[in-house]
Amino acid sequence: MSNMAQVEENLALVENYKEGLFRPEDEIALNKVRAFFLSRIKADCSGCGYCLPCPAGVDIPKNLLMFNQYFLFEGQDAKDLSHKLYHIEVATEKMAKNCLNCGECLERCPQSLAIPDFLAQTADLFQTLES
């Protein structure tokens, strides 16, 4: 499994975690993992996709996943890798830079995330490697 796939799997596990599914000791461990993830990431996106479709074609959950991943790992090598992965894994027409700030996604997000604001930050963060 690739590093990216592992990150996606871990984030899904943490985001979809439900109380009562695990033994008490497992819940304690999972709560620690969840707290760690939440302390690092910027957008608490579950990847549910309810915000889609976006009229501008932005893949909102994918962009937010990549945005969070950038902050998940420390060290310049990890940051550089995040930049590269963004441009490999997100098609140009689905990138955050295409957001029109129309606001249609806002009312659909069960997490009440400020999606256009996060996408603007995502576009700024990853624009340095534009081809």
Name the site residues for ligand SF4 (rule: CB under 6 A): 45-51, 54-56, 58, 60-61, 64, 99-105, 108-109, 111, 113, 115-116, 119
User: For residues 83 and 108, which CB has a smaller minimum distance to ligand SF4 in the complex?
Assistant: 108
DSSP letter string over 70-111?
Answer: HHHS-SHHHHHHHHHHHHHHS-GGGSGGG-----TTGGG-TT
Let me know: does 15 contact 33? Beta carbons within 8 Å.
no
CB atoms within 10 A of CB 45: 24
Least CB distance from residue 6 to ligand SF4, whole Å? 20
User: For residues 84 and 101, which CB has a smaller minimum distance to ligand SF4 in the complex?
Assistant: 101
User: For residues 89 and 104, which CB has a smaller minimum distance to ligand SF4 in the complex?
Assistant: 104
Least CB distance from residue 79 to ligand SF4, whole Å? 23
**Residues near 128 by Cβ (< 8 Å), separated by ≥ 6?**
83
Least CB distance from residue 23 to ligand SF4, whole Å? 28
